[in-house]
Every structure is written in structure tokens, then in C-alpha cells.
Homo-oligomer: A and B are copies of this chain.
Amino acid sequence: MASGYLVRMPFLTRWNDNDQYGHLNNTVYYEAMDTAVNGWMIRDGGLDTSGDAIALCAASSCEFHEPAGFPEPLEVGIGVERLGRTSVTWSLGILRRGEDGPLATGRFVHVFVDAATRRPTPIPAGIRAAIEGQLVG
């Protein structure tokens, strides 16, 4: 349910996002989800993308309910389905700006790893605090 998204990040579509069939290509929804989650972690969780702990995508999925297309402005609703020690499963919705019913719903599993060794590492404290403060009941 879209109204369940406590955090929404803006996502503007681009001319070249529309494919030959005249709507956003399916891969753009993944760009939107990746951008929203990383942008939120940078802004509210202090993620330092040049730092020691980075988040890699271990799995993702999306269900496409309704088409969208440039020049529509979109938003991505962010929720958390599961918060582990080294990983987060995000529950995401692609929304029209200011509207509730999602055009697509997706999921990203981010695993935090040490930037050098690429081995799992605990979720940074700032990101955990932001998740617990904003996204978890």
C-alpha cells in the first residue's frame, strides 16, 4: 500500500528512458530504486561512498503494474522489509509524484561489505539509526 511509504525520494524521467514502445524501459525502474535508496542513505544515513563500508546489490526484483513515461515526474517510496546485521531488504514503490498507488513495486537486497575486501561488514551505525528512526515501525 503506497500510503505506507514514510519516505519518498524524487525521480525525474529522461527522454532516453522511453524505449521503442513509448514508455519507460523496465531497466529504468531499477535505476530509480537504486538511486532512491543510495540517495537516501547518503542524505540521511551518512553513507560515504568512498568510505570503508559500501552497499552492494545481492538481489532485486520488480513487478510492473502500470506504464509510465517521460516527461512524467516520479517518486520512489522507500520501506524496509527486513533489517539484518549486515544486510537490508528494501521494499520499494514507483509512484507518480504526489500520488499513492504504485506503478511498480520492487525489492532490493543490499549487503554491506568492506570496500577493500568485499566481505560482509555490519551496517554502518548512521544508516541503521536512520532506518530505525524513519522506516521501522
Contact = CB atoms under 8 A, between A and B. Distances in A.
A116 B38 CA distance: 24
Interface in A1-44: 10-12, 14-16, 18-22, 25-27, 30-32, 34-35, 38-39, 42-43
Interface in A45-85: 49-50, 54, 56-64, 67, 70-71
B43 A34 contact: no
A124 B43 CA distance: 38
A34 B27 contact: yes
B16 A56 contact: no
B15 A16 contact: no
A59 B62 contact: yes
Contact of A22 (B11, B31, B50): B50
A10 B97 CA distance: 15
Contacts of A27: 16, 27, 30-31, 34
Contact of A19 (B20, B59, B67): B20
Contacts of A58: 63-64
